[in-house]
Amino acid sequence: MKERIEQALEKIRGMLWQEGGNVELVEVSDDGVVKVRLTGSCSMCPMSSMTLKMGIERILKEEVPQVKEVIAV
């Protein structure tokens, strides 16, 4: 599952790089919770929670159905 999540994050990174940000995979739990770290301009952006839930989480759930939730650490 971790490899599939990394592949999905590669698709997302292109969009984040355009804005000076990035996302790092921190941990994947057995119960489908994915922990990520937003870096660069994303780490301080007031819209980062929307990026996380409406962008990253949505795409990860579409690409990897075992993903239940994505949280930032």
Domains with residue ranges and CATH for the chain: 2-72 (3.30.300.130)
37 Cβ neighbours under 8 A, 6+ residues apart: 23, 24, 26, 43, 72, 73
Average pLDDT of adjacent 10-residue blocks, the chain of 73 residues: 94 89 95 95 84 91 96 93
The predicted pLDDT at position 67 comes to: 97
Query: 39 near 25, Cβ under 8 Å?
Result: no
Specify whether the CB–CB gap between 72 and 37 falls below 8 A: yes
